[in-house]
Amino acid sequence: MRRFYLPAVLLLLLGLASGQTGSSYITPELQRLIQAGGQSYASALLRQDPGQALCSTHRNRLPAEVLGPFIEEQRKTIRYPADGKLMGDWKQGDAIFNTLARGNCFSCHVGSPRNIGGNVGPSLEKYGQRGTSEAVQKYTYEVIYNTWAYFPCTVMYRFGHGGLLKPEEIAHVVAYLLDPASDFNTKPALRR
């Protein structure tokens, strides 16, 4: 038992010493190239996580044998608000959805009555028509928290997973989309 253990530890230490990233996409040669871009650049890129590495390797089209475990891993990352409420305050959600430096949702999705939407993502116009059942709330929350659990390798940010929005903030956005009283559902969407 011990005989197998020692080489493994040595290999691990060797890996750490040579600055290996653990990412399967970043070859040692690519790592040296990235390091030539400066310290802060390198520290951001070399922190590539295994999910990002898979999407990079397969150019965003995961083969069937990878897909299942990938989705499983992404699902595991999802955290919920401490109070368990997946629908927060739609007015706070409005501010997040419509602010470039926060959610920036409008840049890719049509549906906001305050900003002209983009077409990178699907239209969310009258999203509230789906009702506010537990299943709809959960789906909406989880897609925003970690969209790769539903749409592997898509462009939409994994807001919760990436630390861009807190669970409570995501719940506010869910309310903005689902609450029948929300401006999102009572006012017409702006489009080009």
Partner 1 sequence: MGRFWRLVGAAVLALSGLFVLAQEEDDPVKEAEKQKKQLLEQSGGILPSDLFVAQGEQLFKAKRGPKNASLEACDFGRGPGKLEGVVGRLPRYFFDTRKVEDLDSRIRSCMINLQGFRPEEIRRSEVVAIAFYIASLSNEQPMTVRPLMPQEKRLYELGERLFYLRAGPRDMSCATCHVTYVGKRAGVLPYSDILKDKRAASHWPAFRYSNDQGWTMADRIRGCYTVLGMPAPDFYSEPIIALTLFMNVQANGVRMDLPGFIR
Q: Is 158 in the site for partner 1 (CB under 8 A)?
A: yes
Question: By the 8 A CB rule, do 105 and 97 touch?
Answer: yes
Cα–Cα distance for residue pair 93/96, rounded to 1 Å: 5
Tell me which residues in 72-111 interact with partner 1 (CB under 8 A).
Answer: 107-108
3-class secondary-structure state, position 120: coil
C-alpha pair distances (Å), 163 with each of 64, 78, 87, 91, 190: 29, 11, 19, 21, 29
Cα–Cα distance for residue pair 29/11, rounded to 1 Å: 19
Binder to partner 1 among 15, 24, 60, 69 (CB under 8 A)? 60
Question: By the 8 A CB rule, do 80 and 144 touch?
Answer: no
Q: Is 20 in the site for partner 1 (CB under 8 A)?
A: no
Q: Is 11 in the site for partner 1 (CB under 8 A)?
A: no
Question: By the 8 A CB rule, do 57 and 24 touch?
Answer: yes
Cα–Cα distance for residue pair 128/146, rounded to 1 Å: 20
Q: Is 24 in the site for partner 1 (CB under 8 A)?
A: no
Binder to partner 1 among 59, 64, 65, 84 (CB under 8 A)? 59
Separation of CA 173 from chain center: 14
End-to-end CA distance of the chain: 67
- By CB under 8 A, which span of 90-98, 112-120, 126-134, 136-144 interacts with partner 1? 112-120
Nearer to partner 1, 30 or 95 (CB): 30
Distance of closest approach, residue 184 Cβ to partner 1, in angstroms: 19
Nearer to partner 1, 127 or 148 (CB): 148
Residue closest to 126 by CA, chosen among 178, 84, 86 = 178
Nearer to partner 1, 165 or 175 (CB): 165
Binder to partner 1 among 120, 133, 186, 187 (CB under 8 A)? 120
Site residues (vs partner 1, CB under 8 A): 25-27, 29-30, 33-34, 36-38, 40-41, 43-45, 47-48, 52, 55-56, 59-60, 107-108, 118-120, 148, 153, 155, 157-158, 162-164
